[in-house]
Amino acid sequence: MSTEFSIDKHREKMKKALFKIFLFSIIEFILLNIYIIISVLTRDYNWTIERLTTTSEGIVVQLIGLIAIVSGIYIIIQFMAYIAMALNTPDDSD
């Protein structure tokens, strides 16, 4: 009984970890698309320090970069947690 509960609990944690990886990957993809759209609309792909600090588009690009970095780090941490859970999967044989 207790092993079935722990296996089910373990599988539920793995599903949650995969969902978080998927969710934050989608957020990362959306941020990349917003960055590309802003770059296309302003016709500037080389963002200089002056443009990043003086224009509103530059500030938005900086915020997108910051959020993308934090989201990327979270994706890496969740992926490492998922791999650790996958390597420590309890045996199904009884």
Over residues 2-60, the pLDDT tens digits come to 556 577 887 888 888 889 899 999 999 999 999 889 888 888 778 888 888 888 888 99
Domain ranges of the chain: 20-87
Distance CA 50, CA 90 (A): 55
Distance CA 19, CA 64 (A): 22
pLDDT above 70 for 92: no
Cβ neighbours, 10 Å, residue 93:
5
More confident call, 86 vs 3:
86
Distance CA 28, CA 72 (A): 7
Distance CA 80, CA 75 (A): 9
**Would you state the structure tokens that stand for residue 28, as one six-digit string?**
């990362």
pLDDT above 90 for 73: yes
More confident call, 94 vs 52:
52
